[in-house]
Structure 1
Amino acid sequence: MTDRPAPPRFPRVADADVERALDSVCDAGTRAELSSLVHHDMGRHRLLTVEGLLAGMQLCAERHNGQVLLDRTTAILQWAVSPRMRDRFHIPERPDSARGFEASYAVVRRLFHQLLAAMDPSVLPKNRRIDKADAARISAAADTGDLWRRAQVLLRVTNALVDASLTDLRSHLDRHWDGSTAVDATPIRTFAKGVRTAGPELATDPDAGWYVREGDHRDPDTLPAKASPKRKGAKATEGQARRRRSAKTLFGYDATLAVARNPAHDGAPHPDGSPDPRAVPAVVTGFTLDKPGHAPGLNATRVLTDVRRRGHPAGFLAGDRAFNNSVPDQFQLPTRTLGYRLVFDYRQDQLGVQAGTAGALQVEGQWYCPAIPQPLITATADLHNSHIDQSTWAARIAARVPFQLVPKQHPDAEGHQRMSCPASAGRLQCPLKKTSMGRDPRLPVADPAPSPVGPAKICAQHTITIAPESGAQHHQALVYGSPDWQRVYFRLRNSVEHFNGYAKDPISEAIELSGRRRIRGIAAQTFLLAFQLAHANRRKIDRWLDTLPVDDQPPRRRPTRRRKTKPLGTWTPTGHLEQAV
């Protein structure tokens, strides 16, 4: 009886699939940049090229829902690809044995960590706990310029991996995406056990921190102590203790994601049930990692700057309340300079008048005539305080429009914009602007308050110039609460929250689980997360493309059934209008 040869332990990968993986992982320029980071003119030739490592990691991610495992990558490169590809990647022939695997794994692991070292913006040692005093000395002795350069390389390289995943959607994005984007920071765990923040040591992943689902997500131990209104020694109530126990906490990072979505289309299918090709799926265009709650605005600006560098357009930009609470010089002003039009929601203590310039009042993000009636200014606060009902609130928001300053021209290169008095622009009647009186009896009449120093500048002139710094923290492009604001803000915010859940699906990428990225440090976590986000993008794009008819043939899959939503214009800060339910 003749013995049959044993079947291969690893499924063979065709050369065409290796080439495709290499092309899809990132562009040739990024591969060349990574190769230059670890290039040495002297010494032995490498037993694995950077291109080979990237191809192996991409093939591994495709087989394991975006997860990159170095042992699986080793097996793919050493025994699954053809001898021709191994020669191309300078991989020597090795037996499929313990010694052969260990030798191959050492090569893969060494090159992987050399790449990380060249991109790591942190000098702190990983995989062991170190004393905080030692960590402070190490950080103080570091070259801050070199660390900044590494951070830029890490951002550029990892976002190139994500950008490459958009290739199959590029033509649809170019035609149907206006550049509108939602930013959000979502927590992910790291492969390390957290330690007490007030303790003497750092964790084995010293770049991570504690996330708490309260406030701005920062670790309470890192915040300034606040005086308690309770008497000294008073115990927390049972409800307070229960809320504290139930608050979600994890040790890891905040992943700041930029998600593309065109809010002009709601995704409703055509009458025949086919999807609207203009409603492209929400996908990640950029990301970065940082400790939870640390500089959310600055991190979003870094991501969006790289998104624009790669040639993507700028449209509306929506974020949660953590972003419009940022320092304007770190988020609001830089993103407006990049071309984005900001759309925000507000906390209850941020409602009403937010700023003023030349007599004009900023009310919930927009500039208004100083004679705007007080009930219109306090409409949203009055609704929260149950002083008015929802229908009255909607009517008062609409009644603000005639009092709104009118743009005279587009902002200049520095962001300064000339704005017209609404009476001078024919929107309002005002006794201080004689030519406006009696022009149209349907227009509301302003009642400016007398002033001993004379009228404000906006009332004495037809136009004023508003500097970009004026009211920068709360400025937004749309009237708060208006139907246009509801359409843009909620569609963008829903898109980013949906993608967070999509990529955290435990049977797919499961980006929140620490076991999917088993290497510590911000560089390793960012690099491995890039493969997961790219895989989530491709999974979503492929599913959407399968629902589109091609060459007059029926689609391969049915579109996802949309859940019923409330009509635009029915939202209020305290719920939808009752008559629209």
Structure 2
Amino acid sequence: MTVLSPAGHFAAAQRGHIRIADTDVIAVAERLHVCGLLDFLQPLVARDTGRPRLLTLEGLLTGMQLCADRHDGAVLLDRTTDLLQYRISPGMRTRFHMPERPETDRAFEASYACTRRLFHTLLKALDPSPLPKNRQLDRAEAGHIMQNADATALAEQATRLQRATGLLIENSLAPARHLLAAHWEGSLALDATPVRTFARGTRTTGPVTATDPDAGWYVRDGDHRDPDEAPPGPKRGTKNTRPTRRSKYLFGYDATLAIARNPGRDGAPTANGHADPAQLPAVVVGFTLDKPGHSPGPNAVDVLADVRHRGHRPGYLAGDRAYNNTSPEAFQLPARALGYKLVFDYRSDQLGIQAGHSGAFQVEGTWYCPAIPQPLIDATADLNAGRIDAETWTRRIAARAPFRLMPKQHPDTEGHQRFMCPASAGKLQCPIKPKSLGTRPHIPLADPEPTPAGPHTVCRQHSITIEPEAGAQHHQDLDYGTPDWQRVYFRLRNSVESFNGFAKDSAYEAIEQAGRRRIRGIAAQTFLLAYQLAHANQRKLARWLDTLPTADGRPRRRPTRRRPTKPLGTWTPTGHLTPA
């Protein structure tokens, strides 16, 4: 029999005094069944031959969830083993097919080996990368492995991983699902935030890979890709805008997060001093991992498709400029096909006229009459250049409305939509259409420029059809710069930045730190990050519930107050926000 040291006796005694109630264990296990995670993963690890496992998949997932609940979302397999082997009742261990073991080092190692084998069996069925982990590979050997891998099988495993982690997130939202159905209209904010991996990075062009070969370097500049992986820069003597190696500061992954938030409400405390019961906090409803700067559009579409697959309705969708700068086939068109209404901001070189169709101009995402005055087209560019002030910009944005093509019907099943000429819709007077003149003298009078070929198609016809590919890269569903656009875009963008800071808090989930996820590889990092994000959801929902009124009408926790100072939008550099 193994003799325990004094420290071992103390640890054993300590374990013996901390027991987890059967009701808590059963509640966790039942939620795994209800959310569908256990039923989804069980066929992936089932086997018909060999000795019976000394730990079931239900037991492993229950132990990992218990570990996450007690350690701020962090899941370490040694802690999970300790919970399952020594802190739950014998009846629960029997349910999970775990034998009774003494509190010795050898017994713990045997139990830990069972936990570790089953977890890595699960990862093998979910891993979208064929590269071996935990050892450095020669670059040529790694390239050979990737070239000879079964792309179809890897794509299937990537889908499984997305589905499994989505169900973990859904499990954290289960207590608030009825509130989401009542108060959330489906709007999301997208953002990619860097997280470290538990491996030391190596030079991308060096002879060997890192021990986590699926990760990459994140840089502060540009599109965040490693400059060693970027295309060749300009020729010598021209300005090179590629990031330098000195800007590398993190070896890990980009986590593409989809944050749910209702932009129709501002979230301010009520007059009674408690939180608004109809404004849920911003929570994550889906995510995925990839190398930093790689495929932001397709990664976002994978997340959106998973969110829709789990039954969440689509609403507005906001993201930073990394998303509307991708090719439309990779992001904008698939996102619109999923039912989302896009809301974007633009770079300074993307302002003004962005596309044309049948004579109509797309100006900052919206289709306008070709007679729209040039000062209205250049409003945002003039603001950024300092040629006009914010008040003038606001008036010019509002003056665009009469020149906007009016939707005649909703888009059809293929995304085609009919638009009316604003003069035909009674929003504008135009000499090309005499019936619009004099009927409503208070509306603007268009001054169309003559063209050698005669009036444009949109001017000759009552309405035109615009296909989804026309202006797809910069298309958005709200008029840029209007109060509605400001409300939706900035509230969604602020919510995703707020959640990033909340989940990166080093006192809690600390998702950016590598020590909370100590297993290498994209499958392991994704699966363990899902527990951290799920815990952040639970913590945020719990804090929100504490700010709601109790039986005596007072909240347990006071919500953040509005301060008698200038709002944050006052300091927006480009003056997009209209002062209240």
TM-score tier (shorter): over 0.9
Partner of 1:9: 15
Amino acid at match of 2:128: P
SS of 2:131's partner is coil
CA distance, structure 1, for counterparts of residue 576 and residue 412 of structure 2: 39
Q: Does 1:262 align with 2:262?
A: yes
Q: Does 1:153 align with 2:147?
A: no
Cα distance change, pair 563–526 in 1 and its aligned pair in 2 (3 A) = farther
Partner of 1:30: 37
Please report how far the alpha carbon of residue 330 of structure 1 lies from its aligned counterpart in structure 2 after TM superposition: 1.4
Partner of 1:325: 325
Amino acid at match of 2:471: G
Cα distance change, pair 458–567 in 1 and its aligned pair in 2 (3 A) = farther
SS of 1:427's partner is coil
Amino acid at match of 2:379: A
Partner of 2:101: 94
Partner of 2:450: 450
Figure out how many residues of one structure are paired with residues of the other and give that number: 570
Cα distance change, pair 566–469 in 1 and its aligned pair in 2 (3 A) = farther
Q: Does 1:507 align with 2:507?
A: yes
Amino acid at match of 1:206: P
CA distance, structure 2, for counterparts of residue 52 and residue 245 of structure 1: 46
Q: Does 1:122 align with 2:115?
A: no
CA distance, structure 1, for counterparts of residue 106 and residue 68 of structure 2: 25
Q: Does 1:135 align with 2:118?
A: no
Of the three residues 83, 94, 101, the one matched with 2:90 is 83
1:101-135 CA distance string (max 9 Å, x none): 11000000000000000000000010111111111
CA distance, structure 2, for counterparts of residue 499 and residue 419 of structure 1: 39
Partner of 2:225: 218
CA RMSD of aligned residues (A): 2.2
Amino acid at match of 1:338: L
Partner of 1:482: 482
Q: Does 1:526 align with 2:533?
A: no
Partner of 1:203: 210
Cα distance change, pair 567–506 in 1 and its aligned pair in 2 (3 A) = closer
Amino acid at match of 2:332: Q
Alignment of structure 1 residues 403-418 onto 2, 5 Å: 403-418=403-418
Amino acid at match of 1:134: E
Tell me, yes or no, if the aligned pair for 1:25 and 1:58 is still in contact at 8 Å.
no
Cα distance change, pair 567–395 in 1 and its aligned pair in 2 (3 A) = farther
Residue identity (%) = 65
CA distance, structure 1, for counterparts of residue 192 and residue 420 of structure 2: 38
Partner of 2:184: 177
Partner of 2:539: 539
Please report how far the alpha carbon of residue 30 of structure 1 lies from its aligned counterpart in structure 2 after TM superposition: 1.9
SS of 1:166's partner is helix
1:182-222 CA distance string (max 9 Å, x none): 01000000001111111122111000011111111111111
CA distance, structure 2, for counterparts of residue 135 and residue 281 of structure 1: 44
Q: Does 1:106 align with 2:113?
A: yes
Structure 2, unmatched stretches of 5+, are 1-8
Please report how far the alpha carbon of residue 9 of structure 1 lies from its aligned counterpart in structure 2 after TM superposition: 2.0
Structure 1, unmatched stretches of 5+, are none
Tell me, yes or no, if the aligned pair for 2:550 and 2:556 is still in contact at 8 Å.
no
Tell me, yes or no, if the aligned pair for 2:365 and 2:476 is still in contact at 8 Å.
yes
Please report how far the alpha carbon of residue 453 of structure 1 lies from its aligned counterpart in structure 2 after TM superposition: 0.9
Q: Does 1:59 align with 2:66?
A: yes
Of the three residues 9, 15, 21, the one matched with 2:28 is 21
Q: Does 1:424 align with 2:431?
A: no
Cα distance change, pair 200–562 in 1 and its aligned pair in 2 (3 A) = farther
Cα distance change, pair 411–370 in 1 and its aligned pair in 2 (3 A) = same
CA distance, structure 2, for counterparts of residue 294 and residue 400 of structure 1: 37
Tell me, yes or no, if the aligned pair for 1:24 and 1:165 is still in contact at 8 Å.
no
Please report how far the alpha carbon of residue 159 of structure 1 lies from its aligned counterpart in structure 2 after TM superposition: 0.9
Please report how far the alpha carbon of residue 549 of structure 1 lies from its aligned counterpart in structure 2 after TM superposition: 2.3
Tell me, yes or no, if the aligned pair for 2:486 and 2:576 is still in contact at 8 Å.
no
Structure 1 stretch displaced more, 507-516 or 376-385: 376-385
1:535-578 CA distance string (max 9 Å, x none): 00000001111111245653322223345686799787623789
Tell me, yes or no, if the aligned pair for 1:70 and 1:109 is still in contact at 8 Å.
yes
Amino acid at match of 2:49: M
1:130-180 CA distance string (max 9 Å, x none): 111111111111111111110010000011001110122112111110000
Please report how far the alpha carbon of residue 20 of structure 1 lies from its aligned counterpart in structure 2 after TM superposition: 1.6
Please report how far the alpha carbon of residue 24 of structure 1 lies from its aligned counterpart in structure 2 after TM superposition: 3.8
Tell me, yes or no, if the aligned pair for 2:33 and 2:39 is still in contact at 8 Å.
no
SS of 1:154's partner is helix
Cα distance change, pair 277–21 in 1 and its aligned pair in 2 (3 A) = same
CA distance, structure 1, for counterparts of residue 236 and residue 388 of structure 2: 31
CA distance, structure 1, for counterparts of residue 454 and residue 462 of structure 2: 16
What is the TM-score normalised by the length of structure 1? 0.94
Please report how far the alpha carbon of residue 7 of structure 1 lies from its aligned counterpart in structure 2 after TM superposition: 3.9
Cα distance change, pair 385–169 in 1 and its aligned pair in 2 (3 A) = same
Please report how far the alpha carbon of residue 231 of structure 1 lies from its aligned counterpart in structure 2 after TM superposition: 7.5
Tell me, yes or no, if the aligned pair for 1:26 and 1:160 is still in contact at 8 Å.
no
SS of 1:516's partner is coil
Cα distance change, pair 174–577 in 1 and its aligned pair in 2 (3 A) = closer
Amino acid at match of 1:189: R
CA distance, structure 1, for counterparts of residue 81 and residue 355 of structure 2: 59
SS of 2:36's partner is helix
What is the TM-score normalised by the length of structure 2? 0.94
CA distance, structure 2, for counterparts of residue 270 and residue 563 of structure 1: 14
Partner of 2:5: none
SS of 1:515's partner is coil
